[in-house]
Amino acid sequence: MWKQLCAWWNRAVRDRPYKPGALVGGYRIEEVLGMGSYGIAYRAVHIPSGRVVVLKQVKPSLRRSPKGEAMQHYEQRVLAALSHPQMPRWLESFRHRNDSFLVMTYIAGPTLEDLLFEEGAALGELEAARLMRQVGELVAYLHERNVIHRDVRIPNVIWQEGRPHLIDFGLARFRGDPPTYIAHDLSDYPEEKQLKRQVEPASDLYALGHFFLFLLYSGYEADENQPERSWEEELSLSPEIRGMIRRLLQIDPAYGSVEEWLADLDAYLNAKKEQSNR
């Protein structure tokens, strides 16, 4: 009961976000974008330049816990190490009264989740594979820099100017960093969560398997009279794509790296191109 009361108090009172129009540092808050595990994200305008940015504030309820600052520190460290046109860039960090803020570039556009679930976009196998190629390249860029994202999901990809943009580096870590802000060991976590949270390429590869399935399911029409079946039974996939997903999800021997998977994906895409040229 005590825990429930504290959670209610934090939500209703302590973690009330700044309102649109509020001035923090040199920024004007425009909109609350969301409240995540450690922070509150806002769309804001940098008043001197007019630039639109994202401000991420550590939740006031976490001010006294080591978690908030530690999580923000990781996100800043990772963003500051990246320079990719399809990812946010760290601009600065500052304190306003008792609050810590991280500032990053704003990427406008719908997420893939919006496009698939709200706008009803439906992709065929080839389109899904082409999109996975683009998303895979972003993850390969991170892994080359020893960054593991650990949250590669359709709500974290924004579609802008015909290209996917990867956001939300709140869980990202450099290889060798501990998997949580306090623990070095994930053995208390359920098995699937251990896989998702390990600071190794395998966690992003596993997430890419689920990502691929979400894209492929966009073209699936459920038959109300059919009992639910496994993805392999529900989706009519080519053996190549089915085999790739089985390896991404570690049903079959896992890929050792994103590059190894991308080589398979390229072989599939090249074969399709040759077929269409015939």
Ligand X SMILES: Nc1ncnc2c1ncn2[C@@H]1O[C@H](COP(=O)(O)OP(=O)(O)OP(=O)(O)O)[C@@H](O)[C@H]1O
Tell me the binding residues for ATP. 56
CB of 268 to ligand X, least distance (A): 30
Q: Which position among 15, 99, 114, 151 bears the catalytic label?
A: 151
For ligand X, the closer of residues 33 and 80 by Cβ is 33
Q: How many residues bind ligand X (CB under 6 A)?
A: 16
For ligand X, the closer of residues 138 and 254 by Cβ is 138
Q: 266 an active-site residue?
A: no
Q: How many CB atoms lie within 10 A of CB 80?
A: 15
Is the distance from CB of 87 to CB of 138 less than 8 angstroms?
yes
Q: How many CB atoms lie within 10 A of CB 27?
A: 22
Coil, strand or helix at 245: helix
> Per the structure block, which two tokens stand in for 147?
């960054």
Interface with ligand X, residue 107, by CB under 6 A: yes
For ligand X, the closer of residues 125 and 151 by Cβ is 151
Closest CA to 29 of 135, 106, 129, 136: 106
Closest CA to 31 of 12, 48, 45: 45
Q: Which amino acid appears at position 238 of this protein?
A: S
Interface with ligand X, residue 41, by CB under 6 A: yes
Please select the residue that binds ligand X; options are 27, 55, 78, 88, rule is CB under 6 A: 88
Cα 107 to chain centroid, rounded: 13
**What is the x/- site pattern for ligand X, positions 7-36, by CB under 6 A?**
--------------------------xx-x
Q: Which amino acid appears at position 63 of this protein?
A: R
Please select the residue that binds ligand X; options are 14, 16, 20, 37, rule is CB under 6 A: 37
> Per the structure block, which two tokens stand in for 259?
């590059």
Please select the residue that binds ligand X; options are 39, 68, 179, 209, rule is CB under 6 A: 39
Q: Which residues in the 155-214 window bind ligand X by CB under 6 A?
A: 167-168, 170
Is the distance from CB of 179 to CB of 186 less than 8 angstroms?
yes
Residue with the shortest CB distance to ligand X: 36
For ligand X, the closer of residues 151 and 204 by Cβ is 151
Q: How many CB atoms lie within 10 A of CB 207?
A: 21
Residues lying near ligand X in the complex (CB under 6 A): 33-34, 36-37, 39, 41, 54, 88, 104, 106-107, 111, 151, 167-168, 170
Which residues are the active-site residues?
151
